[in-house]
Chain A
Amino acid sequence: DTGVSQNPRHKITKRGQNVTFRCDPISEHNRLYWYRQTLGQGPEFLTYFQNEAQLEKSRLLSDRFSAERPKGSFSTLEIQRTEQGDSAMYLCASSLRFIGAGSRDTEAFFGQGTRLTVV
């Protein structure tokens, strides 16, 4: 499967524990995004990377959240001291930005998400 891959698919954790999710984007894609989706809502932007640089973070991303993309390939999203309000689907997406004349992005391709339940 050459699409965006996320692991784990499901995570149940106790309040106060730390969790880490992984996203493997489509291999040639240089942009990577994290979104959070709660039931009945559209995905909410959390952060995005171009290569290894984290270029923007939403104010939704509190100090308990950190994301990395150390080598410009896979990315991790860590949530420290989880709270029940963190329960959601965490979606990763990737796209390819063509640099240079007529620079543009391809569409964003989404992974299947990691469903987090904090009990």
Chain B
Amino acid sequence: GENVEQHPSTLSVQEGDSAVIKCTYSDSASNYFPWYKQELGKRPQLIIDIRSNVGEKKDQRIAVTLNKTAKHFSLHITETQPEDSAVYFCAASTSGTYKYIFGTGTRLKVLA
């Protein structure tokens, strides 16, 4: 069935360093890949997304890359700040359904 694997499950970085979170999806028909940030006790919020017709997208300190051949996509956060500490979820979806298959999450801790 459809599956999204996410690694690592926890990630600690020093403030100012970069963080990379990787996801792999199984459904080759997937064509939309959002990333959500969830702070403790709060709702998941979209931080960046990418569609299958592009290989990379950047928004200030956040970037996402997509390798359709390998069915990999990654989140890159540069110049990390303490407020970046949260759980990050990747997801994949397919046109026509738009249900999201989520990864298991990465708990990012940015150490001051």
Contact = CB atoms under 8 A, between A and B. Distances in A.
Interface size class of B (residues with CB under 8 A): 20 to 34
Contact of B42 (A4, A44, A112): A112
Interface of A is mostly: strand
Contact of B97 (A56, A91, A109, A111): A56
A110 interface: yes
Contacts of A91: 43-44
Given A43-B44, A43-B89, A107 B102 contact: no
A87 interface: no
A25 interface: no
B97 A110 contact: no
A74 interface: no
Interface string B36-49: 10000011111001
Interface of B: 4, 6, 32, 34, 36, 42-46, 49, 89, 91, 97-105
